[in-house]
A and B are shown apart, each in its own frame.
Chain A
Amino acid sequence: MLHDLVVWMRDDLGRFTEDGLSWSQQLAQSLFMWNIIEGTHVLTIMFFAGTIWLIDLRMMGVAFRNVPLSKLNEKVLPITMASFGVMILTGVVSYIGRDPVMYYHNLWFRLKMVFLLAAVINIAWFHFKVQKTLPEWDTIPEGETPKRSGPAMIAFLASCVALLATFPFMTGMDLALTVTTRIVLVLVAGASLFVYLNGRTPSIPTAVKLSGMISLTSWMLIIIFGRFIAYDWFYCEKTEPGSFSYAIQECASYMGHDETGEEYMDEEPSMDETEMPPDTPPDGEEAPAEPDADTTQPTGQEG
């Protein structure tokens, strides 16, 4: 059902005549408009994530320790929320304007949405439950004695070094083993860091620090997965039918096949097959670069 919706977004939304183009197609072919909107989306991240992370770090007792959290929320959060509004708006328009069907069937986009949902649930948890006792831990008492948590910091540093070492030393090894090793190391690093931070500021309840950590991690992963959308590692065209990534991305419907492999969507060609005006401007100017699905490096057209 969602697949049909995004196909409609791509092919029909904003198309008012039989021969006309949908908004998605118009934006995809625009000379600069998509770039400006997507560029704004990425730049807003700088203000949104930058300010929310400083609030998260304060919740974890790491930054702005001499500023009451309520003060930070009162003055910084409006900037964060305004940036969030612009980021979501430009994000939705960028999504519609660059083949929403490709995005919908992209593993990284799906992961990005999962962590976006996690971040929103975390906001609701913090706002409706954790924050109720704010006056009790709004300020960090001066001279607070941190608990000893040196081993946790050592574990964190060791797992970070090991994670970095996987890049030069695990190149060319089995992909599943490499990815699993890296995920395990990231989880160990995250858990060790949390244990360390939890011991450092005992006056802040664990739930508050946990909420801050979830928020910080979620937004970081949202940025990282957004960036990964540009890479073609798991594009449906390159994914083996029957594989896990093929199933999780619902590639069968993207490729125009049902679960048994039988074609059923001849009447809905992919965007590349749709007849469109030429990309090259009539005056011979060069148009902005289009995504190149065969490259291993991003083309800059990522979400």
Chain B
Amino acid sequence: MTFQDLFKDIPGATDFVGSMPQIWPVSMLQDVYAPFGALHLVGLALMGGAVLLLNLRLLGANPTGQSLPDIERSTRPWLIAGLATVLVTGVIIGMLNSYRLYTSVPFFVKIMSLIGACIFSFGVTNVLAKSEGKASIGVLVAGGIAMLFWLFAIGVFHGDIVSAPGIFHPVTAGYALLLIYGVRTRWIAAGAFTLFFGGIFVMYWIVGFDTFDPLYDVISYYVTIAGTLVMAVLYGVEIYLGKSDEASPTAKLVALFSLLCWVTVAAGGRWIGFGA
């Protein structure tokens, strides 16, 4: 699914989007495409640090030794600065490259998960942190809406043959977080990840990277599903049976999905460049 599919019934929409780079004042900004593209990554990285520290704290790890409200206050300016950089640069480079993005599946994934991630960061995790991890009904509803956006984005990502391998990134990030945050399951996660994805890599290498045999796509598909399920079980153990109980299991789940949602935003953005 792309934005072109979504707006196909609006007359002239595709023509308008296609002509966007020639419209003033967008046409004046051709020179900023390259530096803004680079700044877009800088903003994403700045935001990444802030999101990671806050959500790790919500998950129960305490990377800065601060209380939940304190770490939320400390990371907020950097989250906002990063997001502002990402949005300003993203809108401008998007308008300069409008048609390609309009017809791109990974871009659609990126925007859907970005909406989910913004709801998570500004309507859920920050509120949870301020209230010491206690979830109100409003927060749960906002979290549910964010989850719907993210799951929809993941579904679209997985359904596109060219972009589907990009799912590897959120799954890998999930395992990496278990290595950082996990208490009971850390080494099981490391073993499972090595077995699943190391296995694919070795198989691919032995057979030859340039193979286009659909068998490997099928195997990779099922390995990704299996890897995700194992990861979900390990998180279940960690969240509901883990020793770290400073925040409620709900808050921990929200923090996990918030992080994975942001990783999906970044993965979607990266795979725009790999799309056909």
Which A positions have Cβ atoms within 8 angstroms of B?
Answer: 21, 26-27, 29-33, 35-36, 38-40, 42-43, 45-54, 57, 63-64, 66-68, 71-72, 75-76, 79, 82, 167-168, 170-171, 220, 223-224, 227-228, 231, 277, 281-283, 285-289, 296-302
Known A-B contacts A36-B168, A288-B162, A300-B272; A227 and B53 likewise in contact (beta carbons under 8 Å)? no
Distance between Cα atoms of A220 and B267 in the complex (Å):
20
Contact assessment for A42 and B34 in the assembled complex, using a CB-CB cutoff below 8 Å:
no
Q: Does B263 have its Cβ within 8 Å of any Cβ on chain A? A: yes
Distance between Cα atoms of A46 and B41 in the complex (Å):
8
Contact assessment for B38 and A224 in the assembled complex, using a CB-CB cutoff below 8 Å:
yes
Q: Which of B7-15, B63-71, B116-124, B227-235 contacts A (4 or more CB under 8 A)?
A: B63-71
Contact assessment for A30 and B210 in the assembled complex, using a CB-CB cutoff below 8 Å:
yes
Distance between Cα atoms of A207 and B105 in the complex (Å):
48
A16 to chain B, nearest CB (A): 12
Q: Which of B29, B37, B214 contacts A283, CB < 8 Å?
A: B214
Distance between Cα atoms of A171 and B29 in the complex (Å):
9
Report chain A residues within 8 Å CB of B25.
168
**A–B pairs, 14, beta carbons within 8 Å:** A27-B209, A40-B172, A42-B266, A49-B46, A53-B46, A54-B78, A57-B78, A67-B65, A75-B65, A223-B41, A227-B37, A287-B276, A298-B37, A298-B273
Contact assessment for A79 and B180 in the assembled complex, using a CB-CB cutoff below 8 Å:
yes
Distance between Cα atoms of A76 and B57 in the complex (Å):
12
Name 14 extra pairs, CB < 8 A, besides A31-B210, A39-B271, A40-B172. A38-B270, A46-B45, A49-B46, A76-B53, A79-B180, A167-B29, A167-B32, A170-B31, A223-B42, A285-B161, A289-B274, A289-B276, A299-B273, A300-B272
A2 to chain B, nearest CB (A): 26
Q: Does B165 have its Cβ within 8 Å of any Cβ on chain A? A: yes
Which B positions have Cβ atoms within 8 angstroms of A?
Answer: 25, 28-35, 37-39, 41-42, 44-53, 62-66, 70, 74-75, 77-78, 96-97, 161-162, 165-166, 168-169, 172-173, 179-180, 201, 204, 208-212, 214, 263, 266-267, 270-276
Interface of A is mostly: helix
Report chain A residues within 8 Å CB of B30.
171
Interface of B is mostly: helix
Distance between Cα atoms of A94 and B48 in the complex (Å):
22
Report chain B residues within 8 Å CB of A63.
74, 77-78
- Minimum CB distance partner of B263 in chain A: A43
Contact assessment for A281 and B53 in the assembled complex, using a CB-CB cutoff below 8 Å:
no
